[in-house]
């Protein structure tokens, strides 16, 4: 299946997503902040990235922008998965290059469907 990079500073959230994704047959890697997420995205070139927003060192909006603007990683779909649920946050996330934007806690079926849709079109 696919290689998924989860960028989230919450171990609880990461474990929940990891369990769901591994059950689907995906290989999962984890970064605990935006800076580490950009580094791992460049190193691993995953098939898709799940990106939190509120994190230390570099927030998810900044990391998404770096990933989607870099020549080596711009082909990777980034799904922002965050508790920031304001319309302006959603619009800003998409302006940074996010392929989709999900509000935490993301429903497992919706998360799976979003990942499947983006992997099918990548």
Residue (of 78, 16, 24, 26) closest to 52 by Cα position: 78
Give the confidence band of 79 by pLDDT, cuts at 50, 70, 90: very high
Rounded mean pLDDT, 97-119? 95
How many angstroms separate the CA atoms of 25 and 23, rounded? 5
Q: What is the pTM of this model?
A: 0.96
For residue 1, the model assigns a pLDDT of: 87
Give the confidence band of 4 by pLDDT, cuts at 50, 70, 90: very high
Q: Which burial class, exposed, middle or buried, applies to 112 when counting CB atoms under 10 A from its CB (0-12, 13-18, 19+)?
A: middle
For residue 109, the model assigns a pLDDT of: 95
For residue 77, the model assigns a pLDDT of: 98
CATH topology of domain 3-121: Rossmann fold (3.40.50)
Domains of the chain, by residue range, sit at: 3-121
- What would the pLDDT profile of 32-75 be if each residue is shown by its tens digit? 999 999 999 999 999 999 999 999 999 999 999 999 999 999 99
- CB-based contacts of 50: which residues, under 8 Å, 6+ apart? 4, 5, 6, 7, 8, 17, 79, 81
């Amino acid at each position: 299946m696919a290689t998924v990079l989860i960028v989230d500073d919450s171990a609880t959230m990461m474990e929940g997503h990891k369990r769901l994704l591994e059950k689907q047959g995906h290989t999962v890697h984890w970064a605990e902040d935006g800076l580490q997420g950009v580094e791992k995205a460049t190193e691993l070139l995953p098939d898709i990235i799940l990106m939190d927003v509120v994190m230390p060192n570099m927030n998810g909006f900044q990391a998404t922008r770096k990933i989607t603007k870099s020549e080596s990683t711009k082909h990777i779909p980034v799904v922002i998965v965050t508790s920031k649920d304001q319309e302006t946050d959603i619009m800003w996330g998409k302006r940074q290059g996010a392929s989709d934007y999900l509000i935490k806690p993301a429903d497992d079926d919706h998360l799976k469907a979003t990942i499947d849709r983006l992997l099918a079109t990548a």
